Chain A
Amino acid sequence: MSAVSPDTPAMLTTADGAPLKVSFDRALRRSRLKALALVLPLFAFLLITFLVPIGDMLLRSVENQLVGNVLHRTVKALDHWDQGSGELPDEEAFAALVADFQEGRENRTIGRVGVRLNYESGGMSSLFRKTGRRAKRITEAPFREAMIKLDKRWGNLDVWRLIKRESDAYTASYYLSAVDMRFIADGSIARQDENRQIYVRLFGRTLWLSLVITVLCLLLGYPISYLMATLPVRTSNLLMIMVLLPFWTSLLVRTTCWIALLQQQGVINDLLVWVGIIGEDNRLAMIHNRTGTIIAMTHILLPFMVLPLYSVMKTIPPSYLRAARSLGANPFTAFVRVYMPNTVAGVGAGSILVFIIAIGYYITPALVGGTSGTLISNFIAHHMQVSLNWGLAAALGALLLAAVLALYVLYDKIVGIDNMKLG
Chain B
Amino acid sequence: MTAAGGSEAFVRFADVQKSYDGETLVVKSLNLDIERGEFLTMLGPSGSGKTTCLMMLAGFETATFGEIFLDGRPINNVAPHRRDIGMVFQNYALFPHMTVHENLAFPLEVRKLGKAEVEERVARALDMVELAGFGGRRPAQLSGGQQQRVAVARALVFEPKLVLMDEPLGALDKQLREQMQFEIRHIHERLGVTVVYVTHDQSEALTMSNRIAVFNDGVIQQLSTPEGLYERPENAFVAQFIGENNRLVGAVSERHGDTCAVTTVEGEVVKALAVSCGTTGEPTTLSLRPERVTVAPEPGSCPNVFDAVVEELIYLGDHVRSRLRLLGNDEFIVKVPNSGLIRPMRVGETVQVGWSAEDCRALDSPSTAPVFD
Given A319-B90, A323-B87, A328 and B81 contact (CB-CB distance below 8 Å): yes
A326 and B79 alpha carbons, distance in the complex (Å): 9
Given A322-B89, A322-B93, A328 and B58 contact (CB-CB distance below 8 Å): no
Whether A341 contacts B87 by the Cβ 8 Å rule is no
Chain-B contact segment, one of A159-167, A248-256, A330-338: A330-338
Neighbouring B residues of A326 by C-beta, 8 Å = 58-59, 80-81, 83, 85-87, 155, 164
A276 and B373 alpha carbons, distance in the complex (Å): 75
Whether A328 contacts B158 by the Cβ 8 Å rule is yes
Whether A342 contacts B158 by the Cβ 8 Å rule is no
Whether A327 contacts B106 by the Cβ 8 Å rule is yes
CB distance from B99 to the nearest CB of A (A): 13
Neighbouring A residues of B93 by C-beta, 8 Å = 317, 319-320, 322-323
Residues facing A in B65-97 (CB within 8 A) are 79-81, 83-87, 89-91, 93-97
Kindly state whether residue A324 has any CB partner on chain B within 8 Å: yes
A328 and B106 alpha carbons, distance in the complex (Å): 9
Task: Give the size of the chain B interface in residues (CB under 8 angstroms).
Answer: 27
Whether A320 contacts B95 by the Cβ 8 Å rule is yes
CB distance from B360 to the nearest CB of A (A): 45
Q: Contacting A329 at CB < 8 Å: which of B58, B91, B106?
A: B106
Q: Contacting B81 at CB < 8 Å: which of A320, A325, A337, A344?
A: A325
Residues facing B in A310-359 (CB within 8 A) are 317, 319-320, 322-331, 333-334, 337-338, 341-342, 344
CB distance from A326 to the nearest CB of B (A): 4
Identity of the chain A residue whose Cβ is nearest the Cβ of B111 in the assembled complex: A328
Identity of the chain B residue whose Cβ is nearest the Cβ of A342 in the assembled complex: B97
Kindly state whether residue B4 has any CB partner on chain A within 8 Å: no
Whether A319 contacts B95 by the Cβ 8 Å rule is no
Q: Contacting B89 at CB < 8 Å: which of A319, A341, A342?
A: A319
Given A317-B91, A320-B95, A327 and B107 contact (CB-CB distance below 8 Å): yes
Whether B110 contacts A333 by the Cβ 8 Å rule is yes
CB distance from A318 to the nearest CB of B (A): 9
Main secondary structure, interface of A, reads: helix
Kindly state whether residue B154 has any CB partner on chain A within 8 Å: yes
Q: Choose among A325, A327, A338, A344 the residue with the greatest number of B CB atoms under 10 Å from its CB.
A: A327
Main secondary structure, interface of B, reads: loop
Neighbouring B residues of A323 by C-beta, 8 Å = 87, 89, 93-95
A327 and B80 alpha carbons, distance in the complex (Å): 9
Whether A322 contacts B97 by the Cβ 8 Å rule is no
A327 and B95 alpha carbons, distance in the complex (Å): 12
Whether A330 contacts B95 by the Cβ 8 Å rule is no
Given A322-B80, A342-B97, A328 and B107 contact (CB-CB distance below 8 Å): yes
CB distance from B318 to the nearest CB of A (A): 41
Q: Contacting B91 at CB < 8 Å: which of A319, A324, A333, A337?
A: A319
CB distance from B176 to the nearest CB of A (A): 21
CB distance from B51 to the nearest CB of A (A): 12
CB distance from A275 to the nearest CB of B (A): 40
Q: Contacting A341 at CB < 8 Å: which of B60, B85, B97, B111?
A: B97
Neighbouring B residues of A317 by C-beta, 8 Å = 91, 93
Whether A337 contacts B106 by the Cβ 8 Å rule is yes
CB distance from B306 to the nearest CB of A (A): 52
Q: Contacting B110 at CB < 8 Å: which of A319, A328, A342?
A: A328
Whether B87 contacts A324 by the Cβ 8 Å rule is no
Whether A327 contacts B91 by the Cβ 8 Å rule is no
Q: Contacting B80 at CB < 8 Å: which of A325, A337, A338, A342?
A: A325
Neighbouring A residues of B111 by C-beta, 8 Å = 328
Neighbouring B residues of A329 by C-beta, 8 Å = 81, 106-107, 110
Q: Contacting B95 at CB < 8 Å: which of A325, A328, A331, A338?
A: A338
Q: Choose among B58, B80, B110 the residue with the greatest number of A CB atoms under 10 Å from its CB.
A: B80
Neighbouring A residues of B83 by C-beta, 8 Å = 326
Neighbouring B residues of A341 by C-beta, 8 Å = 95, 97
A317 and B92 alpha carbons, distance in the complex (Å): 11
Neighbouring A residues of B91 by C-beta, 8 Å = 317, 319
Given A319-B89, A322-B60, A342-B96, A330 and B106 contact (CB-CB distance below 8 Å): no
Q: Contacting B106 at CB < 8 Å: which of A324, A331, A342?
A: A324
Whether B89 contacts A327 by the Cβ 8 Å rule is no
Neighbouring A residues of B90 by C-beta, 8 Å = 319
A98 and B91 alpha carbons, distance in the complex (Å): 86
Neighbouring A residues of B95 by C-beta, 8 Å = 320, 323-324, 338, 341-342
Neighbouring B residues of A320 by C-beta, 8 Å = 93, 95
A334 and B95 alpha carbons, distance in the complex (Å): 11
Q: Choose among A324, A331, A341 the residue with the greatest number of B CB atoms under 10 Å from its CB.
A: A324
CB distance from A16 to the nearest CB of B (A): 44
A193 and B131 alpha carbons, distance in the complex (Å): 69
Identity of the chain B residue whose Cβ is nearest the Cβ of A321 in the assembled complex: B93
CB distance from A328 to the nearest CB of B (A): 5
B-to-A contact residues, CB < 8 Å: 58-60, 79-81, 83-87, 89-91, 93-97, 106-107, 110-111, 154-155, 158, 164
6 A-B residue pairs with CB within 8 Å? A319-B91, A326-B81, A327-B106, A327-B107, A328-B110, A329-B110
Given A320-B95, A337-B106, 11 more A-B residue pairs with CB atoms under 8 Å apart are A322-B58, A323-B94, A325-B79, A326-B86, A327-B155, A328-B84, A329-B107, A330-B110, A331-B81, A342-B95, A344-B97
Closest 10 pairs (CB-CB, A-B): A327-B107, A323-B93, A319-B93, A326-B87, A325-B80, A341-B97, A329-B110, A319-B89, A325-B81, A328-B110
